[in-house]
Amino acid sequence: MLPLDDARWKGLTGGYRAAYDASVALRGLERGEDTWGELWNELHHQGDLGEASYAAVPHLVRIAGTSPTRDGHFYGLVSTIEIERHRLGNPRLPDWLADAYRLAWHDLLQLAVGDVTRIEDPLTIRTILGTIALARGDLKLGAVLSQSDASEIDEFLEQRCGWSTYYR
């Protein structure tokens, strides 16, 4: 894991493909500040990611692991980064970060499995289930669960399964 005081943060790029020092917002998050808006905006932009996006994931998991509760911001952002990591044109996961990133996803799976039994919000539950699918290596199912809204799911069920005709 890249320490938050490491000078390399200043040279990493974010979703805009420009330098973005995510360590500042991550430290703020660690102190309990609401930096989710900045992290979402800077680490991911219209499917684009940078090395800072990948380097942030182990810290996001570490910070979330110390919190008694996690929400859709956390699961949504880490899932989006993992999904978009596979998009053509995004940088590959750097070798120097690969072990920490994979370990973070292992730890994330444990958090998600515990949280799915406690969370009540349907959108967050769907995002957590998507995170679980991603952590288990099912990129397509993880993307569908994490990035589909209720209307898209309703449309699919109606078109593919005749939901309103055959189900109560």
Position 62, amino acid:
R
pTM of the model: 0.92
The answer to whether residues 78 and 108 touch, using CB atoms and an 8 Å cutoff, is yes
Chunked into runs of 10 residues, the chain (168 residues) has average pLDDT values of: 96 96 97 95 95 98 92 94 96 97 97 93 92 96 88 82 79
b/e map of 38-63 (b: 16 or more CB within 10 Å)? bbeebbbbeebbbbbbbbbbbbbbeb
Cα separation values, 5 from 26, 35, 74, 99, Å: 11, 18, 22, 19
Residues contacting 132, CB < 8 A, separation 6+: 109, 112, 113, 116, 142
The answer to whether residues 127 and 146 touch, using CB atoms and an 8 Å cutoff, is yes
Rounded Cα distance between 55 and 42, Å, is 13
Q: What is the end-to-end Cα distance of the chain in Å, rounded?
A: 49
Task: Report which of 120, 4, 135, 1 is spatially closest to residue 69, judged by C-alpha positions.
Answer: 120
Sign of CA dihedral 60, 114, 106, 135: negative
- The pLDDT of residue 38 is 97
- The pLDDT of residue 33 is 95
